[in-house]
């Protein structure tokens, strides 16, 4: 019996290959609490690397299968998340005791209010934690179905395909790069956190400006 760690990209890819990409990206794109604990960027990029790997120790994946599974998982997962939010409504999000869900919901609502539906649904795909709660939040907030479907499809395809192709291009240009998957995953995690850090810095700056205006 193969032991699989669902939070570890190498374990998932070794056990399930491209189907693991489909299942994880589907869950991470809209299944709320479950999605927060699953790899997204850190699964797509290594999967792309392994598609280009030669005789490395990792599993050999087919690029077209990984890209197809990533596309289906991201788009269908986003749509399911939207339907959960649309039918469960705001109470579904407010009843959650998870701090991650509450924080992600707040960020998702800010993103939708600040950028509008289309831009927010595309940008949100590239922000960890936000992309998991963004689609249920869009459903709960009453984003029109056609508008949501179009833009979440655009965002889902851009996000999923770009990370897979980036990994594939790196794997094709650097020999035995699959031997360094763990450091690469660490780099992807760090890069994925940059939008959150930038948003947190902006929020602190706005709070300071508000406090100065009140004091003045």
What mean pLDDT value characterizes the chain? 78
Question: What is the distance, to the nearest Å, from the Cα of residue 118 to the centroid of all Cα atoms in its chain?
Answer: 17
- For residues 49-56, average pLDDT: 71
**pLDDT higher than 90, residue 147:** yes
**pLDDT higher than 80, residue 22:** yes
Reported as a single tens digit per residue, the pLDDT across 23-32 is 889 988 888 7
Reported as a single tens digit per residue, the pLDDT across 79-138 is 999 998 888 766 766 666 667 667 777 777 888 888 888 988 998 888 877 888 889 889
Contact 96, 31 (CB under 8 A): no
Higher pLDDT, 28 or 68: 68
pLDDT for position 1: 40
**pLDDT higher than 60, residue 54:** no
| Lowest-pLDDT choice from 27-36, 111-120, 159-168, 187-196 | 187-196
Higher pLDDT, 63 or 36: 63
pLDDT for position 150: 96
Cβ contacts of residue 194 below 8 Å, gap of 6+? Answer: none
In the three-class reduction of DSSP (H, G, I as helix; E, B as strand; rest coil), residue 39 is classed as: coil
- How many angstroms separate the CA atoms of 191 and 28, rounded? 18
């Amino acid at each position: 019996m193969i032991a699989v760690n669902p939070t570890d990209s190498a374990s998932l890819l070794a056990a399930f290959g491209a189907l693991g990409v489909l299942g994880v990206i589907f869950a991470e794109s809209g299944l709320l609490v479950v999605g927060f604990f699953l790899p997204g960027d850190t699964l797509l990029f290594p999967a792309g690397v392994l598609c280009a790997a030669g005789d490395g120790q990792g599993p050999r994946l087919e690029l077209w299968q990984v890209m197809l599974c990533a596309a289906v998982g991201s788009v269908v997962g986003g749509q399911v998340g939207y339907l959960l939010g649309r039918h469960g409504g705001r109470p579904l999000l407010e009843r959650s005791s998870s701090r991650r869900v509450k924080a992600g919901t707040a960020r998702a609502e800010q993103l939708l209010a600040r950028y509008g539906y289309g831009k927010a649904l595309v940008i949100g795909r590239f922000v960890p934690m936000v992309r998991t709660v963004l689609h249920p939040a869009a459903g709960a907030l009453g984003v029109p179905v056609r508008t949501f479907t179009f833009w979440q499809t655009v965002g889902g395809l851009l996000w999923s395909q770009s990370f897979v192709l980036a990994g594939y291009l790196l794997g094709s240009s650097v020999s035995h790069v699959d031997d360094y998957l763990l450091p690469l995953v660490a780099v992807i995690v760090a890069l994925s956190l940059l939008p959150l850090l930038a948003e947190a810095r902006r929020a602190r700056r706005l709070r300071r400006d508000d406090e100065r205006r009140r004091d003045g």
